[in-house]
Structure 1
Amino acid sequence: MSLLEVKQVNFSYNSKNFFKGKVQTNNILNEISFVIEEGKCLGLIGTSGAGKSTLGKVILGIQRPQQGKVLFQGYDIYNLNKAIKQKIRRDLQVVFQDSNSAVNPRMTAEQIISEPLENFEKLSIGEKRRMVIELLERVGLSERDLKKYPHQFSGGQLQRINIARAIALQPKLIVLDESVSSLDMVTQSLILQLLSDLKDDFGLSYLFITHDIKAAFSISDQIGVLEKGELIELYDSKDQFFSSKHPIVKRLRESILAEHPRFRTISTKVNWV
């Protein structure tokens, strides 16, 4: 049984044209289908407005699709009883792009990481503190950071806090929604390596939503290309992606920049992370 199965998902919303007095239907996702197996990462690439984040919200149960199903561990996430819904919430976590807006600025790192533990575990104060320290250390921080507030961390450090919170319950799947795109290249590389290590150590599965092709290939086992709400193609290797003749994929390849600004002419020959 696949961990996550998205079956022919369609999502749209209505907007009113005030000049013409008509309601228009905007199709965001069209017949989206794919599978993520346990311990695997699907990288979902697309330009702004392709529908990537909307798809992430559909999978997380935030936006209900008009048609289609999202099956997680065999359960339809939009048709669950209370007990199964609690299990799904535990096993399905998310790390968003904006690390600042994802946390309460009045909470310490200890309180932020403790949230899921308090919601799902029955731990003593000492046990909870030990777990939080272990999680901090696992993401490259330390016990000295327990009492710090979000404004006292850099963007990369705060994203590590968000990752620590996401893995606190050892979930089955984490949706990473542009989770490294706002970071500088050095920090991005470190976070990607951290995510890769955690994937191996905990057997995690990821849906890695990004517009960054290099970042996607550094962590993903399979790549999907989303364009105007449609899943264009799925690739099992870098070679498949670079040999594809699909015009959308060719345009994405041509958008890759060389590492050094001096060599930033359009090129498909790059050094991968």
Structure 2
Amino acid sequence: MSLLQVNRVNHSYNSKRFFKWKDQMNKALSDISFSIEEGKCVGLLGTSGAGKSTLGKVILGIQRPQQGQILFQGHDIYNADKRTRQMLRRDLQVVFQDSYSAVNPRMTAERIISEPLENYEKLTVGERRKTVISLLERVDLSEKDLKKYPHQFSGGQLQRINIARAISLKPKLIVLDESVSSVDMVTQSLILDLLKGLKEDFGLSYLFITHDIKAAFSISDTIGVLEKGELIQMYDSKDQFFSSKHPVVMQMKDSILAEHPRFRSIFN
């Protein structure tokens, strides 16, 4: 049984238009199906407006789809009982793109990381503090960062705080929603290396939502390409992706800049 199964998900949004009696339905997701196995990372690649964020919300239980089914650990997340939903929430975590808006600016790093532990674990104050320090060290921060507030961290450091919070309950699956797109290239590389290490150490599975082809292939076992709400193809290797003749994939490949500026075309 797959850890996560997305079965024939469809979703549309109402779009009110001036001078028309009826609302127009905009298709956000169209018959989406795929699965994620334990210990694997599925990259979901697409341009802005492709439906990536909507699909992420559907998988996280934030946006109920109009049709289709999301099975996590064999349970339908939208039809499970309260106790099961609570268990599923523990095992399904998320790291968003904007590290600053994902945290309470009035909370210290210690309190931010402690939130899930307070909700799900029965720990003493000392045990919780020890756990938070261990989590900080695992994301390459330290005990001296415990009492710092979000504005005292760089964007990359704060994203590490968000990652520490996400792994605090040792979840089965983490949805990474453009989680490295707002940091510089050096920091992005460091965070991707961190995520790969955590995946191995904790046996994590990821859904890596991104528009960045290089980032996707640096961490993903399988790549899905989303375009205008449709999952057009799944690729099991970089060779499969780069040999694809699908027009959308061809356009994506053409948009990648060469590594050295002298080989970049002004028309790319």
TM-score by length of 2: 0.98
Q: In structure 2, what is the Cα distance between the partners aligned to 1:155 and 1:259? A: 25
Where do residues 26-37 of structure 1 align in structure 2 (5 Å cutoff)?
Answer: 26-37=26-37
Segments of structure 1 that go 5 or more residues without pairing to the other structure are 269-273
Partners of 1:9 and 1:32 within 8 A in 2: yes
How far 1:17 sits from its partner (Å)? 1.1
1:208 aligns with 2:208: yes
- 1:238 corresponds to which letter in structure 2? K
1:271 matched residue in structure 2: none
User: For residues 7 and 266 of structure 1, do their structure 2 counterparts lie closer, same or farther at Cα, with a shift above 3 Å needed?
Assistant: farther
* % identical equivalent positions: 79
How far 1:264 sits from its partner (Å)? 2.0
How far 1:22 sits from its partner (Å)? 2.1
Q: In structure 2, what is the Cα distance between the partners aligned to 1:39 and 1:169? A: 16
Give 3-state SS (helix, strand or coil) of 2:80's partner.
coil
TM-score by length of 1: 0.96
Partners of 1:174 and 1:207 within 8 A in 2: yes
2:174 matched residue in structure 1: 174
2:254 matched residue in structure 1: 254
Q: In structure 2, what is the Cα distance between the partners aligned to 1:17 and 1:94? A: 34
How far 1:138 sits from its partner (Å)? 0.1
Q: In structure 2, what is the Cα distance between the partners aligned to 1:266 and 1:35? A: 39
1:91 matched residue in structure 2: 91
Q: In structure 2, what is the Cα distance between the partners aligned to 1:65 and 1:195? A: 29
1:54 matched residue in structure 2: 54
Q: In structure 2, what is the Cα distance between the partners aligned to 1:158 and 1:63? A: 26
Partners of 1:43 and 1:224 within 8 A in 2: yes
Give 3-state SS (helix, strand or coil) of 1:132's partner.
helix
Partners of 1:257 and 1:267 within 8 A in 2: no
Q: In structure 2, what is the Cα distance between the partners aligned to 1:110 and 1:83? A: 28
Report which stretch shifted further, 171-180 or 7-16.
Answer: 7-16
1:9 aligns with 2:13: no
Partners of 1:28 and 1:229 within 8 A in 2: yes
- 1:68 corresponds to which letter in structure 2? G
Partners of 1:254 and 1:266 within 8 A in 2: no
Where do residues 1-273 of structure 1 align in structure 2 (5 Å cutoff)?
Answer: 1-265=1-265
Q: In structure 2, what is the Cα distance between the partners aligned to 1:220 and 1:16? A: 38
User: For residues 267 and 71 of structure 1, do their structure 2 counterparts lie closer, same or farther at Cα, with a shift above 3 Å needed?
Assistant: farther
Q: In structure 1, what is the Cα distance between the partners aligned to 2:10 and 2:107? A: 38
Report which stretch shifted further, 259-268 or 145-154.
Answer: 259-268
How far 1:267 sits from its partner (Å)? 10
Aligned length: 268
- 1:98 corresponds to which letter in structure 2? D
- 1:154 corresponds to which letter in structure 2? S
Segments of structure 2 that go 5 or more residues without pairing to the other structure are none
Structure 1 runs of 4+ aligned residues shifted over 4 Å read none
Give 3-state SS (helix, strand or coil) of 1:17's partner.
coil
Superposition CA RMSD, Å: 1.2
